[in-house]
Each structure stands twice: as C-alpha cells, then as structure tokens.
Structure 1
Amino acid sequence: MWKKLILGLLIVLLLAAAVIGMRFFTSNTPFESKHKYLYIRTGQATFPEVIKTLRDSHLVKNPGSFEWIGHRMDLDQKIKPGRYEIRKGMSLFNIARMLRNGQQSPVNLVITKLRTRQDLAALIGRRFECDSASVMDYMNNADSMKVYGFDSTSIMTAIYPNTYTYFWNNTPTGIFKKFFAEYRKVWDDERKEKAAKLGLTPGQVYTLASIVEEETNANEEKGNIASVYYNRYKKGLKLQADPTVKFALGDFTLRRIYLKHLTAESPYNTYRVAGLPPGPICTPSLVTIDAVLDQPVTNYLFFVAKSDFSGRHTFSETYTEHLVNAKAFQKALDSVMAKRQAAKEDIGTQK
C-alpha cells in the first residue's frame, strides 16, 4: 500500500514538474513572425507596466505566469530599460533572464546622405529612445559641442556616412561620442596633411565635398568638379553652386535653378556670398571627400552638363568657352523639350 502511495505521489510530482516545465521552460510566444521587440523606457517602466505591455502586445501566451516567475527572479527590482528582442520560441524563463541581465538587442544607425541637422535629429529620434528635440538641444548646446571642437553650425562636419551600433536607450551624448570617434578616425595624419596642402581645414574640405556630392553621382568626375570650386574659392570668386541655392531655399525638389531663385538671402547662397558656405549642405561620402583632397590641378572655372544628357559634364577654363558649352546644352535641351511637346500635341489630336 505504501509503495502504491509513494508511486502515486511520484507520478503527481512528475506531472507537476512537467506542467511547470511546459509553462516556464518551453516556447511561450504566440506570434508568427521571427521576432518582436519589447521597449522599456528609462525611468518610466515598472514591472506591472512591463506585464501590461507583454499582455497588450501579445508577446507571451501566459503573462500571469511570467509575472509569477518574474517576481521570483527579482525582476520587479532588477528590470533594466532598453530594447529587447523576443524571438519566436523563447520561454518565459529565458525572457525573464534576458530582462534581468539587461541583454539588449543593439540598434544600427545607418547614416547615408543627410542634408540638415533637423534630418539627423529626426533620424536619431526614430531609432532611439531620445527624441529629435533632445538631439537638437544637444547640438545647440555650446558646452556640449565645445568639448569636441565644434559648434551648432559646424557639427554636421563631424557626421560621416557609416553604420553605427548602439543600444536603444543611449543618450545624445553617447550617440555623438561615436560620431566624434569616427571623425578622428577619418581625419588621420594623411588626410590632414592633404587638407593643409590645399590650405583648407577638415571642416572646409567636408563643406566643399558636400557641394560636389550634390553635383554628381559620377565618382570619376568628382575630382574635376572639386577643382572648379576650389579654383574659384582660391581666386576669391563666388562659387555659384546651384545645390547651395536649394539648401538656402530649403527646397530640395527643385530640378532647375532660375534667376528668381538666385536672390535668396542666405549665407548658404553662393550666388550672393563669396567663399564657402558656413557649413555643409549634405553629408558627403568618403569617396567624395577624398576626391576633394586628391583633386587634379586644373585651371577649370566652369562646368556644364553635357549635351548628350549622359549626366556627365564639360569643363572649361574661360567664360567664353563656358558660354559655348552652355549654349550647346541649352540647344539640345530645347530640342528634347520641343519633341516632347510635339508628342503631346500628336496624342491630343488622336483623341
């Protein structure tokens, strides 16, 4: 009789252990996707709020059981803010341990081509806990910028296209610390020496490169275009760069620049103001920066799009040559526009 009783108790205990194991140590994720993210904000999330998020977002099948195991793992005292990846098939125990240990999922911030500080702040605000307003406040803070030798205008010259990896709850200070580290990496002794030979600071090289970046996607032309603007800059001539007019107007959809646009009052309008603009008009690639540093020695002062519409340019040393090249392009453009208009009229007559 005792043997049967003991055997029965063992079976009950084994069944209870199996139920507990099934509940806490096997898959407890109801979603079909490969993963979902749980966001716990700094200084705002309490354990009950996390439970509510898990329940409302359907991140676990049994939020009540998670609450039970969470209390026993001291999650209500040790929970850490951050962005956590809950992978399909995770158990309640694994999720609780991940939260207790603060094992966040990193965030990649991919910088490609940005034009303004507002663009940068918006991008960071979309990817991290800190919002765009706090990022703008950081960039506008003279003390924060001064530590690294920048100000609210020149700060964009410290932003280089790359992929930067952080935790989601990083602060603007932490985010920009990596930007500054990349800046120091880019401006090694070799690049500094090349800039010095041109009589330019790293910030001026960056700003000039930003104009070249907006002028062409053809890497083989970037050196010649850089030489045009550099030659004009050294001679004290206005750069007269169309992309700076777009930046001054804040209208990057403009396809053509007309006389009415050239009157925009802005330090970035290089048709009105001589020299380089006070800051960059976009974040140029390293290829473009190196094209500025390694530009060929030329006497070019002008360039215009080729009349074959290849996207390439014709370069000239004198204004007389430039007028001939510009006239050829305008003639080709007028011909194309006339053909398009004729085609529209022909379609209209067939209705």
Structure 2
Amino acid sequence: MLKRLLIALPIIAILGAVLVLWLFWWGGGAATAQTIVVEEGATLRSLCPGLERKQLVPGSCTTYRGMARLFGSKDPIQAGEFEVPAGTGGAKLLDLLQHGQPVSRLVTIPEGTPSVLVQEKLAATQYLTGPAPLPAEGTVLPNSYSYQRGEARAAVAARMEAAMSKAIRELWPRRKGGCPVNSAQEAVTLASIVEKETGKASERRTVAGVYCNRLRIGMKLDADPTVIYPVTRGKPLGRRILRSELDADNGYNTYRRAGLPLGPIANPGRASIAAVLDPEPHQFVYFVADGTGGHVFARTLAEHNANVTKWRAIRRSRGEL
C-alpha cells in the first residue's frame, strides 16, 4: 500500500501541475469581449478583483495571482484601455496587460484651426481628463493625434505643441530666402494668413508669393482674415465685415498698417509654413476668388479690378449680391 501511495503521489502532483498550467493558459475568459481600463500605477493585485467580477480570470484572484507569479512574466501592468476578446485565457490576458497595445483614439485638428477651437475640441473629446488648456496661437501643429482613455487634455495639447516646435526646427533651416520674414515666428504668422486665404493645396505657394511680394515692397497685406481675428479669435464671422472693423487699428488689421500682424491668426499646417519659406517666384501682388474655390492672380491694379468685376458678376448670378 505504501509503495502504491509513493508511486501515486508524484502522479497526482504532475496531474495537479498540469491542471494549474491548463487553467492559467486556457482557463478563464468571458463569453463576450470586454473593455478594461487600467489606471496609472495599477498592479495585478489591485486590478484582479475587477477582472474576477468580469469573469476574465480562472478561479479566484488568489489562485490567478499565484499562477501569474509561477508561470507569467514579471513585467509590470501597463496603464491604458484594453479590449479583451471573448474567451481570452489567463495567460493571454496577463500578456495583454503587460505587453499589449492599449486602445488608441484620435483627435483631429484641421489645418487653420484657431487655438480657441483647439481648446474647445479637446474639452469635448470623450475619455480625456482634466481642463483643456488654451494654446498660444500658432503653437499647435494641425494633425491627428492619438490618445488613451483617461489621459490628460493638457498632455495631448503638449504633444500638439511639441509637434509644431519640431516642424519649425526642421523647416526653418531649409528656407529659400524668397520671403522677407526674419524669424520662424514671422513665418508662422504669415503661414496662418496663407492658410486662411486658400483651401487649395496647389495655391499655397502662389498665395504665399503674393504676400511675400507685398511685404517686400511695403504694400499692406489687406487680408480679410486678419480683420476677423480680433473679433472672433479666429472663429467664422458668419456675416460681412463691417466698415468699423476694417477701420479698427488693433495690431492685427492688415488693412490699417503695412507689415505682419502682431502674431498668428490660426494654427497653420506644415504645408503652409513650407510655402512661406519657399514661395512661388512671380510678380503677382493681387488675387481674388474665381468662383471655383480658387483664385485668379494679377500683377497690376487694372488687371485686379477686371478680375474683381468678373467675381462680382459671378456672385450676382448666384444671388449673393
């Protein structure tokens, strides 16, 4: 009897070990996919009760943590949001929490967005936390930015600003010298006007060339978006510009003074900054809408006036005048 017991004990131990391994590798797993959110600094011990309630771990938390210590990695749990597929075993769950890719969400800032709308976009973005800062105008690089659930809005804004700083560091040394801007900040300011004046990528360098030519000869920029900016902080005006607004001398109105406004009037995209640093070489100093979403350019005031007459005829035909 003793001999049989001595033979059976190792077999029982092996079978027990096999059972534990089976439970760790294939046991657990909810019948449906689950989403779990791991806070910064969380451990398997603190997270486990929630996993148990969701039926994601085999057995009890005590059993699962013991199996994780014996058979799992010693790496820490990551913070973030994780999608756990249905039927995920205990070992795969642990690997997901330690080494998997957290769910990534995107917030998109279109080119030419003013900072007040960047702030509003961040404030309205689901799953971010904390207050939304108001970035300085022209310091955010328009793009799509990934974020994780529970991340601070200020952290996402900081990444947007870091991206703009990086873009400027890359672009400013490559300037061609075709535009009389004396600093990267001046380039961003002019790029914000270019961004607001045309939505056509093919026109950016041409429009930039017009404004660079005006700066070079001391001609006023006469850019409507610079008149609107002090009124709405870059938001759409929604009406025609008033004579009082055209006459306002506030540091931004380029109808009142030659040269650049006090600062950017929006957050320009990389392409508009590049256009200012390498504008199209031409002799145009005027442009007006052509009715198709683009513009027609002119060298002389007489040419420009003829183009304006055509544009007004188009607007009358549309019932806009």
**TM-score of the two chains, using structure 1 as the length reference:** 0.66
- Alignment of structure 1 residues 172-191 onto 2, 5 Å: 172=155, 175=159, 176-177=161-162, 179-187=164-172, 189-191=173-175
Match of 1:230 in 2: 212
Q: Structure 2 CA distance, aligned partners of 1:127 and 1:160?
A: 21
Aligned length: 308
Match of 1:148 in 2: none
Q: In 2, are the aligned partners of 1:314 and 1:325 still within 8 Å (CA)?
A: yes
Unaligned regions of 5+ residues in structure 1, if any? 140-151, 339-351
Match of 1:113 in 2: 111
Classify 1:258/1:246 alpha carbon distance in 2 versus 1 (closer, same or farther; 3 Å). Answer: closer
Q: In 2, are the aligned partners of 1:209 and 1:284 still within 8 Å (CA)?
A: yes
Structure 1 residue 21 corresponds to structure 2 residue 21 = yes
Match of 2:89 in 1: 91
**Aligned counterpart for 1:324 among listed residues 294, 301, 306:** 306
**TM-score of the two chains, using structure 2 as the length reference:** 0.71
Classify 1:26/1:223 alpha carbon distance in 2 versus 1 (closer, same or farther; 3 Å). Answer: same
Deviations 1:208-237 (A, max 9, x none): 122212222323322221122223333444
Q: Structure 2 CA distance, aligned partners of 1:63 and 1:281?
A: 58
Q: Structure 1 CA distance, aligned partners of 2:43 and 2:16?
A: 31
Q: Structure 2 CA distance, aligned partners of 1:67 and 1:265?
A: 72
Q: Structure 2 CA distance, aligned partners of 1:166 and 1:337?
A: 45
Match of 1:147 in 2: none
Q: Structure 2 CA distance, aligned partners of 1:41 and 1:122?
A: 26
Structure 1 residue 160 corresponds to structure 2 residue 141 = yes
Higher relative contact order (CA 8 A, sep 6+): 2
Shift of residue 204, structure 1, vs aligned partner? 1.5
- Alignment of structure 1 residues 55-66 onto 2, 5 Å: 58=54, 60-62=55-57, 65-66=60-61
Classify 1:250/1:49 alpha carbon distance in 2 versus 1 (closer, same or farther; 3 Å). Answer: farther
Q: Structure 1 CA distance, aligned partners of 2:247 and 2:146?
A: 42
Shift of residue 53, structure 1, vs aligned partner? 4.8
**Aligned counterpart for 1:82 among listed residues 79, 83, 104:** 79
Q: Structure 2 CA distance, aligned partners of 1:273 and 1:301?
A: 16
Match of 1:69 in 2: 64
> Per the alignment, in what secondary structure is the counterpart of residue 85 of structure 1?
strand
Unaligned regions of 5+ residues in structure 2, if any? none
User: What residue identity is the alignment partner of 2:294?
Assistant: R
Q: In 1, are the aligned partners of 2:111 and 2:143 still within 8 Å (CA)?
A: no
Classify 1:61/1:87 alpha carbon distance in 2 versus 1 (closer, same or farther; 3 Å). Answer: closer
Q: Which has the higher helix share?
A: 1
Identity of aligned residues (%): 28
**CA RMSD for the aligned pairs?**
4.4
Q: Structure 2 CA distance, aligned partners of 1:93 and 1:291?
A: 53
> Per the alignment, in what secondary structure is the counterpart of residue 319 of structure 2?
helix
